[in-house]
Structure 1
Amino acid sequence: MSDFRLKVFQHVAKNLSFTKASQELFISQPAITKHIQELESTYQVRLFDRLGNKITLTEAGKLLLQHSERILDDYKRLAYEMNLLHNAYTGELRLGASTTIAQYVLPPLLGSFIEKFPQVKLSLFNGNSRDVETALQEHRIDLGLVEGIVRLPQLKYTDFLDDELVAIVNPGSKLRMADEILPQDLPNIPLVLRERGSGTLDVFEKALQQHDLRLSALNVLLYLGSTESIKLFLSNSDCMGIVSVRSVSRELMAGMYRVIDIKGMPMQRTFSFAQMQGQEGGLAQVFMQYALLHNKKL
């Protein structure tokens, strides 16, 4: 029902490539060009500047991208809500989520989902990312939410929400540190980290590798099984922890922790849904669609 030209434009704008857009949408490149030309003709503007083989968005293109994202999201929501009128969802949905997601992301989403689908019986298994993936493979859960960067071939992953890891210290500790350090300073700093198998540790290790650093070279005082344990430990010790920024947003505003910027070492990650390959549909798909429509509120 939505204007397909907007979808074409969005794919070109996100990739800054007509070729990649045609591959993602499974239509020819001339068709992509035709849709973009029709939009430019409709609004009497240029949407892209072309320089050789490269394209960039014009100011008009940036404006259209903002509106097209909202319009296409509204169409998705409309289709979803209209389909709900024809289906009464009942049954059991067994979710599994890594510790950070279970504690800091899922609670408000689960609350609104239960209100929307009161006849669905929800259960939640909590563990680190490896635990959740194991539970999926053993069919103990129907849908997982994980936070690592490791991808198992027998599972299908769908991106859900962006996240960032930050280094934090207790501002009242005896650890004298500047607001910004270099990755090469890390071996000299006492650390408390999440346990093996956690997505948080996976991302931190990957970031270290970009600077030829290994976990074994660091001064790790303790590995703990939850972010809350790390936060409590930091409140009573002189060391630095690596945690999700989502887990400490309120404490940072209250001045309970101080963020230390590790220069040139970003620790970005994406929370993802995980399913067994080929096992799609049902209540798991309903929950995924609901979560993807409401993730901007999280």
Structure 2
Amino acid sequence: MITRKHLYIFKTVATTQSMSKAAQLLYISQPTISQKIQEIENQYDIKLFERYSKKLFITEEGKTLLNLTNSILGLYDDMDHIFSKDNRFSLKIGATLTVGNTIISPLLKQLKEQYPSINIEVCIDNTHIIEEKILNNYLDIALIEGELTHPDFIVTPVIHDKLVFACAYDFPIPDTLEIQELTRYPFINREEGSGTREQLEEYIKKHHIHLKSSWECHSWEAVKQAILYNHGIALVPLQLIENEVYNGDLKIIPIDSISLERDFCICYHKNKKVTKKLSAFIETCQIYGQELKNGYIQNQDSIPNK
């Protein structure tokens, strides 16, 4: 069988026009060089070199093989480059919109600091789109909010998240509300398919309440801007508005002692091989979740008044 080594030796001999020079360059004995050239000639029943006056001349068959050898060795070099440790294919990470608007950027910065050789591609979209991309192998892994119940998914909680009702600091609203009083105020909602919206709708359905959305937004930034400019109240991730609450621009509204909490979860297909890259991402999420928990705002008592 003709191997990569055979071809590399043949190319070196053809380039140097000398078996002894090829042996020196490759740190191989000259008899080994001669043996490998002979094995190629026997395999294809051809003559690669002619010797005249102690000098090698490549034959027409040799020139044809040299062209093929250059192409084949070039492909080997491409494979070595693509699949080397520093040039692997990207880890394709999905994130739902809440995750994308709150924690995915600092989390991936932490991942890159710990594992600088990992190449990353990121897709941020709503829960249902991310689910489809994982099922169709467009994504390797995702960090999501909301529930995915597909039997082909492995879902593991890694980061705790808290949802709060919030409005502008001077929005005309009592300091506390009953759950039923939500219907009195314009509500800024996320789009259908959002994990946050689904969680809210599931909760209020149990209390036989119907909320009419005054605004329906496809991004958390739009939700935040709407409540900052006094257009209504919204259910938002606490992490999204921490700075605005501390600055006194927004306030959290306790509603009937409601505590809406959830987990951001790692999600990947059950048939996906857990590579070192996937393990690194999962580990980083777990560490980030623990660090976040240690510095979490636990209640409104810790938030200064304006």
Fold-level similarity (TM above 0.5): yes
Distance 1:122 1:295 in 2: 20
Residue 290 (structure 1) aligns with = 284
Q: 1:265 and 2:258 equivalent?
A: yes
Q: Deviations over 1:229-266 (max 9, x none)?
A: 00111222331111100100111000111111111432
Corresponding residue for residue 51 of structure 1? none
Q: What CA deviation, in whole Å up to 9, does each residue of 1:115-169 have, x standing for no partner?
A: 2222211011001111111111121110011101342222110101111111111
Matched residue, 2:223: 230
Q: Deviations over 1:71-90 (max 9, x none)?
A: xxxxxxxxxxxxxxxx9895
For 1:57-136, list aligned pairs within 5 A. Answer: 90-136=88-134
Quote the residue 1:179 is aligned against: 175
- 1:35-58, Cα deviation, whole Å (9 max, x unpaired): xxxxxxxxxxxxxxxxxxxxxxxx
1:207 positional shift: 1.7
Taking the aligned partners of 1:250 and 1:191, their CA distance within structure 2 comes to 22
Q: Is the 8 A contact 1:188 1:218 kept in 2?
A: no
CA distance in 2, matches of 1:143, 1:204: 26
Amino acid at match of 1:158: T
2:159–2:285 CA contact under 8 A, matched in 1: no
Aligned counterpart for 1:147 among listed residues 145, 148, 165: 145
C-alpha contact 1:150 1:202 (8 A) present in aligned 2: no
Structure 2: gaps (5+ residues): 1-84, 293-306
1:69 equivalent in structure 2: none
Equivalent residue number for residue 201 of structure 1: 197
The letter for the 2-side match of 1:266 is S
Q: Contact between 2:188 and 2:234, CA under 8 Å: does it hold in 1?
A: yes
Residue identity in the other structure for 1:140: Y
Write the deviation string for residues 7-30 of structure 1: whole angstroms up to 9, x where unpaired.
xxxxxxxxxxxxxxxxxxxxxxxx
CA distance in 1, matches of 2:148, 2:213: 22
- The offset of 1:111, in angstroms, is 1.0
The answer to whether the 8 Å contact 1:166/1:243 transfers is: yes
Percentage identity across aligned positions? 22
Larger radius of gyration: 2
The answer to whether the 8 Å contact 2:110/2:284 transfers is: no
The structure-2 alpha-carbon separation of the partners of 1:115 and 1:90, relative to structure 1 and needing over 3 Å to count, comes to farther
CA distance in 2, matches of 1:280, 1:292: 19
**Which residue, out of 165, 168, 171, partners 1:170?**
168
2:248 is paired with a residue of what secondary structure? coil
Taking the aligned partners of 1:115 and 1:90, their CA distance within structure 2 comes to 17
Verify the 8 A CA contact 1:101 1:146 in the aligned structure 2. yes
1:180 is paired with a residue whose SS is: coil
CA distance in 1, matches of 2:94, 2:231: 34
Please say if 1:249 is aligned against 2:272: no
Residue 281 of structure 1 corresponds to which residue in structure 2? 274
> Given the alignment, which residue of 170, 173, 187 partners 1:191?
187
The SS at the match of 1:262 is coil
Question: Normalization by structure 1: what TM-score?
Answer: 0.65
Gaps of 5+ in 1: 1-86
SS at match of 2:120: strand
Change (3 A) 1:193 1:292: same
Pair 131,247 (structure 1): closer, same or farther in 2 beyond 3 Å: same
1:188 and 1:155 map into 2 onto residues whose CA distance is 40
Which has the higher mean CA deviation after the structures are superposed, 192-201 or 261-270? 261-270
1:158 alignment counterpart = 156
